Amino acid sequence: MLLEKLNTEGGDLDMTVGTKMQQTIASCESTLANLHSFSLETQDQNAKQMFQNMAQQQQTVLDNLNARLQYMQSEEPQYKQQ
């Protein structure tokens, strides 16, 4: 069966790869939003540039995760809408 299970650290809960991927994407989106906010809120130009660079890197990570999720959903119907 291709539906994999991941154990959480406590070992009490099983999460499917699809669910874990969706949670990771949501976390990534939140981080990206925070980085954009930090960039807008700071007056320090060096910090602003740092946050902008980090946001670009985070966007790349997010794009890659979304691409992987789409692939998983196209290859494995059980990953859709978990």
Q: Is the pTM of this model over 0.85?
A: no
Q: Worst-scoring range by mean pLDDT, 5-14, 54-63, 66-75? A: 5-14
The two three-digit tokens of residue 69, written as one number = 């999720």
Contact assessment for residue 82 and residue 69, using Cβ atoms and an 8 Å cutoff: no
Average pLDDT across the chain, whole number = 83
Give me the pLDDT at residue 79, please: 66
Q: How far is residue 48's CA from residue 36's CA, in Å, rounded to a whole number?
A: 9
Task: For residue 67, give the amino acid letter.
Answer: A
Q: Which one, of 3, 17, 15, 12, lies nearest residue 68 by Cα? A: 17
Is 10's pLDDT higher than 70? no
**Structure letter (DSSP) for residue 57:** H
